[in-house]
Copies of this chain bind each other. A is one copy, B any other.
Protein backbone atom coordinates (compact mmCIF):
# COMPACT_ATOMS: atom_id res chain seq x y z
CA UNK A 1 0.00 0.00 0.00
CA UNK A 2 1.57 3.26 -1.15
CA UNK A 3 0.54 6.00 1.25
CA UNK A 4 0.99 9.71 0.60
CA UNK A 5 0.31 12.20 3.37
CA UNK A 6 -0.54 15.77 2.47
CA UNK A 7 -0.32 18.17 5.39
CA UNK A 8 -0.61 21.78 4.31
CA UNK A 9 2.30 23.18 6.32
CA UNK A 10 5.79 21.80 6.31
CA UNK A 11 7.72 21.98 9.58
CA UNK A 12 9.16 25.40 8.78
CA UNK A 13 5.71 26.88 8.45
CA UNK A 14 4.04 25.09 11.31
CA UNK A 15 2.85 27.20 14.23
CA UNK A 16 4.90 26.85 17.44
CA UNK A 17 1.85 25.74 19.44
CA UNK A 18 1.45 22.83 17.07
CA UNK A 19 5.11 21.88 17.26
CA UNK A 20 4.68 21.74 21.01
CA UNK A 21 2.26 18.85 20.46
CA UNK A 22 3.85 17.28 17.41
CA UNK A 23 7.58 17.96 17.57
CA UNK A 24 8.15 17.16 13.90
CA UNK A 25 4.80 18.39 12.66
CA UNK A 26 1.53 16.63 11.87
CA UNK A 27 2.76 14.92 8.71
CA UNK A 28 5.58 13.20 10.54
CA UNK A 29 3.21 12.05 13.26
CA UNK A 30 0.75 10.63 10.75
CA UNK A 31 3.59 8.86 8.97
CA UNK A 32 4.36 6.89 12.13
CA UNK A 33 0.91 5.27 11.82
CA UNK A 34 2.35 3.57 8.74
CA UNK A 35 5.68 2.89 10.45
CA UNK A 36 7.22 5.64 8.43
CA UNK A 37 6.39 3.94 5.13
CA UNK A 38 4.60 6.95 3.74
CA UNK A 39 5.57 9.85 1.53
CA UNK A 40 4.83 13.28 3.04
CA UNK A 41 4.14 16.42 1.01
CA UNK A 42 2.98 19.96 1.79
CA UNK A 43 1.44 23.04 0.17
CA UNK A 44 4.84 24.73 0.37
CA UNK A 45 6.30 22.43 -2.27
CA UNK A 46 5.91 23.04 -6.01
CA UNK A 47 2.50 21.72 -7.08
CA UNK A 48 1.95 20.84 -3.40
CA UNK A 49 4.14 17.81 -4.05
CA UNK A 50 1.15 16.29 -5.76
CA UNK A 51 2.47 15.79 -9.25
CA UNK A 52 0.87 13.42 -11.67
CA UNK A 53 3.66 10.93 -10.95
CA UNK A 54 3.16 11.06 -7.20
CA UNK A 55 -0.60 10.65 -7.43
CA UNK A 56 -0.21 7.85 -9.96
CA UNK A 57 1.98 6.05 -7.47
CA UNK A 58 -0.37 6.60 -4.51
CA UNK A 59 -2.91 4.00 -3.37
CA UNK A 60 -4.29 6.20 -0.64
CA UNK A 61 -3.82 9.89 0.11
CA UNK A 62 -4.33 11.39 3.57
CA UNK A 63 -5.26 15.07 3.62
CA UNK A 64 -4.90 17.53 6.47
CA UNK A 65 -5.39 21.25 5.78
CA UNK A 66 -6.86 24.29 7.45
CA UNK A 67 -5.24 27.72 7.03
CA UNK A 68 -3.85 27.16 3.56
CA UNK A 69 -6.66 25.59 1.53
CA UNK A 70 -6.20 28.49 -0.91
CA UNK A 71 -2.58 27.52 -1.58
CA UNK A 72 -3.79 24.40 -3.35
CA UNK A 73 -4.34 25.50 -6.92
CA UNK A 74 -7.50 24.53 -8.76
CA UNK A 75 -5.30 22.50 -11.07
CA UNK A 76 -3.77 20.46 -8.27
CA UNK A 77 -7.18 20.02 -6.65
CA UNK A 78 -8.59 18.69 -9.89
CA UNK A 79 -5.64 16.35 -10.26
CA UNK A 80 -6.48 14.94 -6.83
CA UNK A 81 -10.19 14.49 -7.54
CA UNK A 82 -9.33 12.91 -10.88
CA UNK A 83 -7.01 10.51 -9.08
CA UNK A 84 -9.86 9.57 -6.74
CA UNK A 85 -12.20 9.00 -9.66
CA UNK A 86 -9.63 6.64 -11.18
CA UNK A 87 -9.44 4.62 -7.97
CA UNK A 88 -7.11 6.33 -5.48
CA UNK A 89 -8.34 6.31 -1.88
CA UNK A 90 -8.66 9.63 -0.04
CA UNK A 91 -8.79 9.99 3.74
CA UNK A 92 -9.79 13.52 4.67
CA UNK A 93 -8.86 14.56 8.18
CA UNK A 94 -10.49 17.16 10.40
CA UNK A 95 -10.55 20.64 8.82
CA UNK A 96 -9.86 19.00 5.48
CA UNK A 97 -13.68 19.07 5.23
CA UNK A 98 -13.17 22.49 3.67
CA UNK A 99 -10.41 21.48 1.28
CA UNK A 100 -10.97 21.92 -2.43
CA UNK A 101 -10.85 18.22 -3.34
CA UNK A 102 -13.31 17.16 -0.64
CA UNK A 103 -15.81 19.88 -1.49
CA UNK A 104 -15.59 19.05 -5.18
CA UNK A 105 -16.14 15.36 -4.54
CA UNK A 106 -19.10 16.02 -2.27
CA UNK A 107 -20.78 18.72 -4.38
CA UNK A 108 -22.02 20.47 -1.23
CA UNK A 109 -20.70 23.23 1.05
CA UNK A 110 -19.36 20.80 3.70
CA UNK A 111 -20.12 23.48 6.27
CA UNK A 112 -20.66 22.68 9.94
CA UNK A 113 -20.69 24.37 13.35
CA UNK A 114 -17.54 24.43 15.47
CA UNK A 115 -15.96 25.44 18.79
CA UNK A 116 -12.51 24.80 20.23
CA UNK A 117 -11.58 22.87 23.29
CA UNK A 118 -14.37 20.44 24.01
CA UNK A 119 -14.39 16.86 25.26
CA UNK A 120 -15.38 14.31 22.62
CA UNK A 121 -16.66 10.76 22.85
CA UNK A 122 -16.70 9.19 19.40
CA UNK A 123 -19.20 6.33 19.14
CA UNK A 124 -18.97 3.53 16.59
CA UNK A 125 -22.39 2.96 15.01
CA UNK A 126 -21.37 0.33 12.44
CA UNK A 127 -19.26 -2.11 14.46
CA UNK A 128 -18.92 -4.66 11.67
CA UNK A 129 -17.46 -2.18 9.20
CA UNK A 130 -13.79 -2.81 8.30
CA UNK A 131 -13.01 0.78 9.29
CA UNK A 132 -14.13 -0.04 12.85
CA UNK A 133 -12.12 -3.26 13.15
CA UNK A 134 -10.52 -3.68 16.53
CA UNK A 135 -11.95 -0.47 17.94
CA UNK A 136 -13.76 -0.20 21.27
CA UNK A 137 -17.41 0.96 21.50
CA UNK A 138 -16.23 4.53 21.77
CA UNK A 139 -13.04 6.59 21.74
CA UNK A 140 -12.59 9.41 24.25
CA UNK A 141 -10.62 12.56 23.47
CA UNK A 142 -10.03 14.85 26.42
CA UNK A 143 -9.81 17.88 24.25
CA UNK A 144 -10.81 18.21 20.65
CA UNK A 145 -12.41 20.80 18.44
CA UNK A 146 -16.17 20.44 18.38
CA UNK A 147 -17.63 19.93 14.91
CA UNK A 148 -21.42 19.80 15.01
CA UNK A 149 -24.47 19.19 12.83
CA UNK A 150 -25.86 20.19 10.47
CA UNK A 151 -22.89 18.88 8.46
CA UNK A 152 -23.70 19.72 4.86
CA UNK A 153 -22.61 16.57 3.05
CA UNK A 154 -24.46 14.07 0.86
CA UNK A 155 -25.75 10.97 2.65
CA UNK A 156 -22.64 8.86 3.34
CA UNK A 157 -22.56 5.38 1.83
CA UNK A 158 -21.53 4.18 5.28
CA UNK A 159 -21.88 6.09 8.53
CA UNK A 160 -19.34 4.51 10.87
CA UNK A 161 -18.95 6.92 13.79
CA UNK A 162 -20.92 9.66 15.53
CA UNK A 163 -19.19 12.18 17.79
CA UNK A 164 -20.62 13.40 21.11
CA UNK A 165 -19.34 16.70 22.50
CA UNK A 166 -19.78 17.78 26.06
CA UNK A 167 -20.98 21.19 24.97
CA UNK A 168 -24.10 19.60 23.54
CA UNK A 169 -23.49 18.71 19.91
CA UNK A 170 -23.37 15.59 17.76
CA UNK A 171 -21.54 15.03 14.48
CA UNK A 172 -21.30 12.39 11.76
CA UNK A 173 -17.60 12.03 12.51
CA UNK A 174 -16.62 9.00 10.43
CA UNK A 175 -18.23 8.75 7.00
CA UNK A 176 -17.36 6.72 3.91
CA UNK A 177 -18.28 7.55 0.33
CA UNK A 178 -17.69 5.92 -3.07
CA UNK A 179 -16.87 8.35 -5.89
CA UNK A 180 -16.03 7.02 -9.33
CA UNK A 181 -13.61 4.13 -8.84
CA UNK A 182 -12.31 5.62 -5.61
CA UNK A 183 -13.26 5.68 -1.95
CA UNK A 184 -13.33 8.72 0.28
CA UNK A 185 -13.41 8.70 4.06
CA UNK A 186 -13.91 11.68 6.30
CA UNK A 187 -12.62 11.51 9.89
CA UNK A 188 -13.39 14.46 12.13
CA UNK A 189 -10.88 14.37 15.06
CA UNK A 190 -7.49 16.00 14.67
CA UNK A 191 -7.31 19.60 15.85
CA UNK A 192 -3.74 20.77 15.50
CA UNK A 193 -3.15 21.79 19.11
CA UNK A 194 -4.57 18.59 20.61
CA UNK A 195 -2.53 15.36 20.66
CA UNK A 196 -5.26 13.42 18.89
CA UNK A 197 -2.97 11.66 16.42
CA UNK A 198 -1.10 10.12 19.32
CA UNK A 199 -4.25 8.35 20.56
CA UNK A 200 -3.86 4.66 19.80
CA UNK A 201 -7.48 4.11 18.76
CA UNK A 202 -7.53 7.12 16.48
CA UNK A 203 -4.35 5.76 14.93
CA UNK A 204 -6.00 2.40 14.40
CA UNK A 205 -9.04 4.14 12.89
CA UNK A 206 -6.85 6.02 10.42
CA UNK A 207 -4.92 2.90 9.54
CA UNK A 208 -8.16 0.95 8.98
CA UNK A 209 -9.53 3.80 6.88
CA UNK A 210 -6.43 3.90 4.72
CA UNK A 211 -6.54 0.16 4.18
CA UNK A 212 -10.22 0.24 3.28
CA UNK A 213 -9.86 3.16 0.91
CA UNK A 214 -6.65 2.08 -0.81
CA UNK A 215 -7.08 1.41 -4.51
CA UNK A 216 -7.22 -2.13 -5.70
CA UNK A 217 -8.00 -1.07 -9.19
CA UNK A 218 -6.69 2.01 -10.93
CA UNK A 219 -7.80 3.40 -14.27
CA UNK A 220 -5.62 5.52 -16.54
CA UNK A 221 -8.17 8.34 -16.57
CA UNK A 222 -11.61 9.09 -15.13
CA UNK A 223 -14.33 7.19 -16.96
CA UNK A 224 -15.52 8.83 -20.15
CA UNK A 225 -18.74 8.22 -22.02
CA UNK A 226 -18.54 5.67 -24.78
CA UNK A 227 -20.61 4.95 -27.82
CA UNK A 228 -21.23 1.23 -28.05
CA UNK A 229 -22.56 -1.15 -30.62
CA UNK A 230 -25.26 -3.68 -29.86
CA UNK A 231 -23.47 -6.64 -28.27
CA UNK A 232 -23.46 -9.58 -30.72
CA UNK A 233 -25.43 -11.76 -28.34
CA UNK A 234 -28.33 -9.30 -28.32
CA UNK A 235 -28.73 -8.94 -32.06
Q: Which residues of A pack against B, CB within 8 Å? A: 81, 85, 87, 98, 104-109, 111-115, 119, 121, 123-130, 133, 137, 140, 148-152, 154-155, 157-159, 162-164, 166-170, 172, 177-183, 216-217, 222-231, 233-234
Q: Say whether, besides A109-B180, A114-B226, A180-B109, A164 and B169 are in contact (CB < 8 Å).
A: yes
Is there an interface contact between A168 and B109, defined as CB atoms closer than 8 Å?
no
Cα separation A159 to B175 with both chains bound (whole Å)? 13
* Set of chain B residues within 8 Å of A168, measured between Cβ atoms: 121, 164, 230-231, 233-234
Nearest first, the 10 closest Cβ-Cβ pairs linking A and B are A168-B234, A167-B230, A105-B107, A107-B107, A111-B225, A128-B181, A111-B223, A168-B231, A162-B170, A113-B228
* Set of chain B residues within 8 Å of A154, measured between Cβ atoms: 154, 157, 177-179
* Set of chain B residues within 8 Å of A180, measured between Cβ atoms: 108-109, 128, 152
Is there an interface contact between B87 and A167, defined as CB atoms closer than 8 Å?
no
Task: Using A114-B227, A127-B150 as known contacts, list a sample of 9 further A-B pairs with CB atoms less than 8 Å apart, ordered by residue number in A.
Answer: A108-B179, A109-B222, A121-B168, A123-B169, A123-B170, A125-B151, A155-B157, A157-B158, A162-B172
